[in-house]
Structures are given as C-alpha cells and as structure tokens.
Chains A and B, each alone.
Chain A
C-alpha cells in the first residue's frame, strides 16, 4: 500500500527546505533493533513508567502547549527504501537546550515494512500518544495535537530528543513487529515551521480516518457510531462512555427531535 508514500516524500522535501533555509537541522542515527533502542535509556520505558501528569513546577521544558502549537501524525509504507532505519531528525532546539521554555512541537513518526498493512494502522495511530510509557514525559493529546512536558528529573537524567526518539521507535517496533525500518522527525524551531505541516497533517488525518473506519467495519463495528469498537472491555471509562451514549440516546428520543435512521453498533437497523 502506497497511500502515504507521497507524504513521506513531502516530509523529506520539508526537511530539505528547512535545511536550505538555514534552520538548525540535526540527525541522530540509532540502531534499528528494538531491544538495543530501549536498552541503556536513562529513563524507564514501558507500561506504567510515566506518572500521568508533570506539573508546571516540576517541568524542565514544555512542548506543543495550546498556545505554542503542535502537530503530530504517523506515516507508514511498505517501501522500506523510503525510510532510513533508526534516524531521528530534529529541526530546532533540543530539550536539554531549552530549560524553562515552552516550544512549539511537531512529531512525525514514519514506519516501513513490506508486511505492514491497514490492520496495523490503528496501532501506529494510537502508539504516537504514549502517554504513560515514558518516565518523566507527560503527553496529553487531542487528535492531531500533542501537548507534552519533560520533568526536571527526566532532564537531569539526560532526556533529550535522541532519547525520546529511541523510546518511541522501541515502543513502535515492539508493538508492530512488521516494522522493518523507522524514522522520527521532531520540529521545535517555530510555530510557523510546525504550521507548515498543517496541509499534510490534514490529508493524513482524512486518510487515517478512512482506514481506521474501514478496518473496524470489516470487523462488524462502525467506530463512528459505536465507541465500543475500541476494546472497551479493558477501558476504565466504559461506564462513562455508556452514560454519555445513553444520554445521547435519551436526547434523540425527546419529543420534537427529528428521528434519525441510524444503525446499531452491530450494524443492524
């Protein structure tokens, strides 16, 4: 499947344009093996390693706050030749150079694997918001937006973009073994530089939405109608979601509301 290939090429062009425009562009080339990526990191990585929230008083640097702006999306391809395995590209200042700063933030994760397919897309899409898996790294997200903080403790241990990139690649490769090569691009140079990615992000979002919906439809769920398609059996918010769904149902049944012809979660009318 080559649906994202054009955007992977556009990201390469974007990096080249940034470099040509005199922006500070750095690259870190890391080993591709997931174990080697995660071994020796100065912070813990894995389920439960994060602390949920990093308060401002404990924050070394903040990335992508609503005021500073952010952009985040994953791309994937079956063409392994499009991706330089283990490469981290950073446009702008690194974390450890930004004590006390609130920087804009762009994060693009690019995965490649001959066996990658739409089935893995949801995993790739969800994994970018690894909110609780990296010690001292807080992630709060809305679709396409990512607001993160790095704690003073994590910074003291040497948490920079090389560490973050390795952790993300390690997590991704562990979750989707079909990934043969992976790159990460971070942008912190300016809000304008992050916003230059908006068009690509919008297109990627539309494609991503269609892939995820089609994948779940094939399993018998319409995720836009029924959030139970998202493995709610293990979701602590299931009761809340059920409440909200019940509320919406009650509202739709109120006298004076137009009746809508909508399908049940199982796909039956």
Chain B
C-alpha cells in the first residue's frame, strides 16, 4: 500500500459546491497525512477567501497572500521608485512572511483582496512565487472555493488530483458535473485525475454511486455523517484533534491511501 511518505511530489486540490464540507474534508486529509508513518513536507493552501481552513485547524493566520497582493499593487501605484525597482527581489520575503509554519506543516492563506480589478500580471507574479515556494514541499493540498478557475488563476496552473466534494443532494451532484465539464472540456485547470467524494452520507451509497456514474465521475469515497466532526466544528476545536477512531477520519484515510497515493 502506498503511503504519503514514500511517493513523489503530489499536488491535490479540493473543490465543490459551497457548504458541502470541503474545508472539513481538507482538514481531515491534513490529519491523515500528518498521521502517516513517513511524514512528508506538507503545504496547505487555503484558496477560499473565507479562510475557513486555518480555523478548522485551530490556527490564527496573521498575514495572507491577499495582503501581499495589495502591497504589490500599492507599491506599483505609489511614487517610491526605489521600492518599485526592488519589488521583484522583495517578493520571496513577503511570501515567506505570509507562510504560517508549524513544526509539522505549513499553510498559506490566499485571503481576500480589497482592490477591485483583474491585475493579471500581479496574479501571475504571485502564482509564480507560490509555485516556487511549493518546490520545497512533497505534498501540496489546496482547499479551493466552489469553482476551479480561481485555483488556476491565483494558485497553481496544474494539479495531480482534483477532488470534488459533494453532499448527498442533487444540487451538489449538479455542481460536481459542472466542475467536471470545466476541467475536462474547458480545461479550467490541468489535472491528471479527478474524483468525487460524497460527504455527510447517511446510507444511500448505492444511489450516489449511480448518480456519479451518470455524470462520469469516479467515486473516491463516502464520508459518513460523523457527530464528532460536527461537534468539533460547533465548539471551534481543531479537526486535527479528532479521535483516531472517528468514522469520518477512517473514510478519509481510505480515500488517501486507495485513491491519492495508490
């Protein structure tokens, strides 16, 4: 059986309809990866502007890439020519400042941006910086927002595995179908493997499997409704502290070993 510790570099992105539990799933994947007997260098990227991942992991992130972006735009607009000329060389410092590091993993929160406008060159600049930073890690796990374009635009141009999280509703499955179309037909992001994870499942796996087949997506796994996850969410306790026997965690462990690192 493959394990996170003995595999090549992996880039994994999680997306799906809002409210399906993407962030809790990403947090549980983090726990599973950290529990691995051969831990790898793990970088988490919270690409959702709501920044739920640090909260789910019990972390307080002080600085975001959104703030770095603001600083770059402010400098580009400003009159300090010396600062402008040094901007490229300062970027690594600013990105490292935004990187929240624990002893076992690091997390980069994209955060919100205040300045309206596309500023594609700035996005390109930051994406390059993130891609450079990510070379130092073995596993990069991205918690995205509902769509995948924003991951492509601001975080990574390609990932190895895209995990679409859905709840057991037709809306969740429709969104999954739409995401699959965006990836496969419109190439919103380059990815080698796409799979579906059903979250908060309550004994209707057969119907869900059929629905997944109809939209042409492989099912990576079913995460059962788990009261311990709901409790941790409610009281603001880190998902990393879930009991090892949590049914949700067990299901995620299975997904990681059988579909991500197999």
Contact = CB atoms under 8 A, between A and B. Distances in A.
Contacts of A143: 82, 86, 90
Interface in B82-128: 82, 84-90, 92-94, 96-97, 101-104, 106, 119-122, 124-125, 128
Size bracket of the B interface: 20 to 34
A142 B90 contact: yes
A247 B76 contact: yes
Interface of B: 41, 76-77, 81-82, 84-90, 92-94, 96-97, 101-104, 106, 119-122, 124-125, 128, 132-133, 135-136
B135 A240 contact: no
Given A66-B97, A243-B121, A251-B77, A141 B89 contact: yes
Interface of A is mostly: mixed
A240 B136 contact: no
14 contacts: A52-B132, A55-B136, A56-B106, A57-B41, A57-B104, A142-B89, A142-B94, A223-B85, A227-B84, A227-B85, A240-B125, A241-B88, A244-B87, A244-B125
A55 B88 contact: no
Nearest to A131: B92
Contacts of B124: 240, 243
Interface residues of A, number: 31
A224 B87 CA distance: 12
Contact of B93 (A140, A227, A246): A140
A216 to B, nearest CB: 10
Nearest to B97: A66
A225 B81 contact: yes
A240 B128 contact: yes
Contact of A147 (B93, B103, B106): B93
Contacts of B87: 244
Contacts of B135: 52
Interface of A: 51-53, 55-57, 66, 129, 131, 140-143, 145, 147, 209, 223-225, 227, 230, 235, 237, 240-241, 243-244, 246-248, 251
B47 to A, nearest CB: 20
Contact of B88 (A57, A147, A237): A237
Given A227-B88, A248-B76, 19 more contacts: A55-B41, A56-B106, A57-B41, A140-B92, A140-B93, A141-B90, A143-B90, A145-B93, A147-B93, A224-B85, A230-B85, A237-B88, A237-B128, A243-B121, A243-B124, A244-B87, A247-B119, A248-B84, A251-B77
